[in-house]
Chain A
Amino acid sequence: MKTNVSMDRRTLLKTAAAAGAATAAGVLNLKAPFVMTARAEEAIKLGVLLPKSGPYTVQGENGHNGAQVAVDDFNGHVLDRPIQIVWLDEPNPQTTQQNMHKLVEEEKVVAVQGGISSGDVLAIMPIAERAKILLIATGPNATEITGKNCNRYTFRVDLPNKVTVNTVYPSLKEYGKKWYFVSASYAWGIDAYNQMKDVLVKDGGTVLGFDQAPLGTTDFSSYILKLRQANPDVVYVGIGGSDLTNFLKQLHEIGMTRKMPLSSPIINDSDLWAAGPEAAFGTFPKLWNYTGAHNTPRSQQFAETYQQKNGQPPEVEAWQDWFGTTAILTAIKETKSTDSRQLIGFLEQHKFEGYKDMPIFFRDFDHQLIQPTLVASVKEKITEKYDYFDITAEFPKEASQLDAFYGSQQEIGCPLGSF
């Protein structure tokens, strides 16, 4: 009897110890980010800086999911080492900078990609240069990133404002030359207005009116009253995100949907999805769309894989980050190295085939991704939940015109320099 009890006690203690160890292990697992594991040495880490909260969360999620698809395309391995994505938040320039430090110094990533907001990217570009690490900016549009602020370590996937203007203008001008502009009253919005205004005026058009709306304006009804009074041929807005959704909803409310064409320098699918099939309309320059004849088999494969994994089709941001990650992984694979200089050398020379219907490449004197762009119009009748766009045109028509479309070296004025 006694031995039984002591046996029980021993077993009890053993199980308690085991349970304790398991909990500790569980706790340690939870604390994995706190403690560096030895296993980290063998994995190839890719840093991703995209928003986890705030107004661009949807783009952040899309981008991260897109990057993950790229990793899966490589079966999770490159150079016989596992690939690990480290996703840190991009909430504002200051914190993004700190997170960049973290990626470079603590996580020791091989390369960093991401950046929705130009301000955030401008903040981390100097760090990429100082730390001599490859940075692929997939999301921002500011001209300076491949212009006067450029550096050897930064590449950009998204379209600069000038290219979007030239893409969509030919489609819009046939409706008339009297345009009305509404822009968010900060640098990007005003730049959007200036870029398009220059093109319009040079072509003999007139600006009927230009209104600035504070960022975060919820109610555009007063702006729309002014717009309606002016009766323009085309409305061009430098507004994005939920502000654009509000604008579209309120246009619909007053019955002005599709009365005249609407456009803006960039468009996120989720802004239109949020406006709903009744209110969404417009003709926009777009980097990529998940439906459309222009889609190569490879990009189509990406769209299908993404939809399978995430339950809804990819936004354009997802393609941008998918391509960015694929570019990095391809560079690693081909150069058989993780040294940033080698990767950069590779990216400056390589032509990526099969992603779009002409080869695309990073230009060597400014590191801008040279790619054809699309003109996407919202369908007249939207029947499926996410299928909003018809692709009406592609620019440029010939691969030989690609380089000129993005501006000459003189125009860009990027002092790239050496390593």
Chain B
Amino acid sequence: MAELIVSQIVNGLVLGFLYVLIAIGLSIIFGMLGVVNFAHGVFFALGAYFALSLRDTVGPWAIVLAPIFVGAAGMLIESSLLRPLYSKEPLLGLFMTFGIALFLEELIRTVWGAGGRPFDPPGMLSGFIIWGPVLVTKYRLFVLVLTAAILFALWLFLQRTRYGRIIRAGSRDAEMVSMLGINLPRVFTFVFGLGTALAGAAGVLAAPLWSVVPSMAEGAIMPAFVVVTIGGLGSFGGAVVSGLLVGVSVALTIQFWPAASSAVMYALMVLVLLLRPRGLLGESWERFE
């Protein structure tokens, strides 16, 4: 039994890393633009579908190209549909992402069909490894390593580069950053593109694991919200910690009380919102209150 629990925890960690990758884009977008991106799940799905279409032509490069295309689509959408709304009522951005989510999901269904499309993991990554009490499949290990690498690269970017500093400052006080002479609209567009590209990357990685259907967008958006809320809106470290926490919680709940495994996410979310709304590692930013 103890072995099984250890395996579940490791499994939960891997799942958690995937959640983190989905959620981190949402958190960055929210921190910088103040927009709750309801369309985040659809960009996740787009990543999977782009990979599906690109795989036949460019092979393994699809894993790099698909997120880039998703990011490009995100930037296009931000500059055309979201930018006009920044000067207006803040709610409109939220409603707009809602409309975009509806539209894009149906677009996916129209272009790629409503049926699920098969997507296998690459041959060399099939099978699993047993390491003492721990059982983990090779593909999930790959996902874990790659996700960790992406997150580390992102962290380096945000902490060590000038552009990253601008993004962090802009999350705190966008007005001040623009007063310092930085072209804010361009930063916003880039950040939105970055966030959606991260969602797309998560989609590519998840495609061999989860079925590639248009409704996969919905399977990603709620966990993303939960993770971002628990971790703290706009907090990088918070998203990582809470993603892993949620992943492990879900895995352990499946072990002992499976029927409640989705309800446990929302219960955690409610608990955090009531007791410590800024999240585990979030800061108390007045603009959210």
Distance (whole angstroms) from the CB of A357 to the closest CB of chain B: 29
The answer to whether the Cβ of B8 comes within 8 Å of any Cβ in the partner chain is: yes
Q: A55-B215, A218-B216, A218-B219 are in contact. Are A271 and B116 (CB under 8 A)?
A: yes
- Measured between beta carbons, the chain B residues less than 8 angstroms from A274 are 115-118, 211-213
Is B258 within 8 A of A223, CB to CB?
Answer: yes
Identify which of A249-257, A294-302, A404-412 touches chain B. Answer: A249-257
The answer to whether the Cβ of B15 comes within 8 Å of any Cβ in the partner chain is: yes
- B5-16 vs A, CB cutoff 8 Å, 1 = contact: the mask equals 001100110110
A residues contacting the other copy or chain, number (CB 8 A): 40
- A156-189 vs B, CB cutoff 8 Å, 1 = contact: the mask equals 0000000000000000000000000000010000
Is A53 within 8 A of B254, CB to CB?
Answer: no
When C-beta atoms are compared, the residue in chain B nearest to A62 turns out to be B115
A110→B186 CA distance, assembly (Å):
60
Distance (whole angstroms) from the CB of A414 to the closest CB of chain B: 32
The answer to whether the Cβ of B128 comes within 8 Å of any Cβ in the partner chain is: yes
The answer to whether the Cβ of A279 comes within 8 Å of any Cβ in the partner chain is: yes
B105-161 at interface with A (beta carbon < 8 Å): 106, 109, 114-121, 126-128, 135, 137, 139-140
Is B4 within 8 A of A229, CB to CB?
Answer: yes
Is B12 within 8 A of A276, CB to CB?
Answer: no
The answer to whether the Cβ of B259 comes within 8 Å of any Cβ in the partner chain is: yes
Q: A217-B262, A255-B126 are in contact. Are A226 and B4 (CB under 8 A)?
A: yes
When C-beta atoms are compared, the residue in chain A nearest to B253 turns out to be A222
Distance (whole angstroms) from the CB of A275 to the closest CB of chain B: 6
- Measured between beta carbons, the chain B residues less than 8 angstroms from A276 are 118-120
Is B4 within 8 A of A225, CB to CB?
Answer: yes
A198-214 at interface with B (beta carbon < 8 Å): 211-214
The answer to whether the Cβ of B208 comes within 8 Å of any Cβ in the partner chain is: yes
When C-beta atoms are compared, the residue in chain B nearest to A221 turns out to be B11
- Measured between beta carbons, the chain A residues less than 8 angstroms from B255 are 222, 226
A245→B215 CA distance, assembly (Å):
13
Distance (whole angstroms) from the CB of A252 to the closest CB of chain B: 8
B residues contacting the other copy or chain, number (CB 8 A): 44
Is B209 within 8 A of A61, CB to CB?
Answer: no
- Measured between beta carbons, the chain B residues less than 8 angstroms from A225 are 4, 7-8, 11, 135
A252→B121 CA distance, assembly (Å):
10
The answer to whether the Cβ of B86 comes within 8 Å of any Cβ in the partner chain is: no
Is B209 within 8 A of A219, CB to CB?
Answer: yes
The answer to whether the Cβ of A355 comes within 8 Å of any Cβ in the partner chain is: no
The answer to whether the Cβ of B79 comes within 8 Å of any Cβ in the partner chain is: no
Is B211 within 8 A of A275, CB to CB?
Answer: yes
Q: Which of B11, B109, B115, B219 has the most CB of A within 10 A?
A: B115
Contact among A54, A57, A216, A279 for B120, CB-based, below 8 A: A279
A275→B250 CA distance, assembly (Å):
24
The answer to whether the Cβ of B210 comes within 8 Å of any Cβ in the partner chain is: yes
Distance (whole angstroms) from the CB of B131 to the closest CB of chain A: 14
A276→B118 CA distance, assembly (Å):
5
A295→B18 CA distance, assembly (Å):
46
When C-beta atoms are compared, the residue in chain B nearest to A61 turns out to be B114
Is A253 within 8 A of B137, CB to CB?
Answer: yes
Is A222 within 8 A of B12, CB to CB?
Answer: yes
The answer to whether the Cβ of A143 comes within 8 Å of any Cβ in the partner chain is: no
Is A219 within 8 A of B15, CB to CB?
Answer: yes
The answer to whether the Cβ of B251 comes within 8 Å of any Cβ in the partner chain is: yes
- Measured between beta carbons, the chain A residues less than 8 angstroms from B126 are 252-253, 255
Distance (whole angstroms) from the CB of A304 to the closest CB of chain B: 21
A57→B120 CA distance, assembly (Å):
23
Contact among B114, B128, B218, B250 for A58, CB-based, below 8 A: B114
A55→B217 CA distance, assembly (Å):
12
Contact among A223, A254, A270, A277 for B128, CB-based, below 8 A: A254
- Measured between beta carbons, the chain A residues less than 8 angstroms from B120 are 276, 278-279
The answer to whether the Cβ of A352 comes within 8 Å of any Cβ in the partner chain is: no
- Measured between beta carbons, the chain A residues less than 8 angstroms from B4 are 225-226, 229
- Measured between beta carbons, the chain A residues less than 8 angstroms from B116 are 242, 245, 270-271, 273-275
When C-beta atoms are compared, the residue in chain A nearest to B127 turns out to be A255
- B190-228 vs A, CB cutoff 8 Å, 1 = contact: the mask equals 000000000000000010111111011011000000000
- Measured between beta carbons, the chain A residues less than 8 angstroms from B262 are 214, 216-217
Distance (whole angstroms) from the CB of A301 to the closest CB of chain B: 24
- Measured between beta carbons, the chain A residues less than 8 angstroms from B119 are 276
- A352-393 vs B, CB cutoff 8 Å, 1 = contact: the mask equals 000000000000000000000000000000000000000000
When C-beta atoms are compared, the residue in chain A nearest to B3 turns out to be A229
The answer to whether the Cβ of A68 comes within 8 Å of any Cβ in the partner chain is: no
- Measured between beta carbons, the chain A residues less than 8 angstroms from B11 are 221-222, 225
A137→B15 CA distance, assembly (Å):
40
- B246-268 vs A, CB cutoff 8 Å, 1 = contact: the mask equals 00001100110011011100000
Is B118 within 8 A of A57, CB to CB?
Answer: no
A279→B206 CA distance, assembly (Å):
16
Distance (whole angstroms) from the CB of A223 to the closest CB of chain B: 6
Is B15 within 8 A of A221, CB to CB?
Answer: yes
A54→B213 CA distance, assembly (Å):
10
Is A214 within 8 A of B210, CB to CB?
Answer: no
Is B137 within 8 A of A218, CB to CB?
Answer: no
The answer to whether the Cβ of A246 comes within 8 Å of any Cβ in the partner chain is: yes
Q: Which of B7, B116, B119, B137 has the most CB of A within 10 A?
A: B116
Q: A222-B8, A225-B11 are in contact. Are A53 and B210 (CB under 8 A)?
A: no
Is A217 within 8 A of B261, CB to CB?
Answer: yes
Name 18 interchain pairs, CB-CB below 8 A, sorted by A.
A57-B114, A58-B114, A213-B254, A213-B258, A214-B259, A217-B262, A218-B206, A219-B209, A221-B137, A225-B135, A242-B216, A246-B211, A249-B210, A255-B137, A273-B116, A274-B211, A275-B116, A276-B120
Which chain B residues have a beta carbon within 8 Å of chain A's beta carbons?
4, 7-8, 11-12, 14-15, 106, 109, 114-121, 126-128, 135, 137, 139-140, 206, 208-213, 215-216, 218-219, 250-251, 254-255, 258-259, 261-263
Given contacts A58-B115, A226-B254, 17 further A-B contacts (CB under 8 A): A53-B106, A57-B109, A57-B115, A214-B259, A218-B209, A221-B11, A221-B15, A222-B254, A225-B8, A225-B11, A229-B4, A245-B211, A249-B211, A255-B126, A255-B128, A273-B115, A274-B212
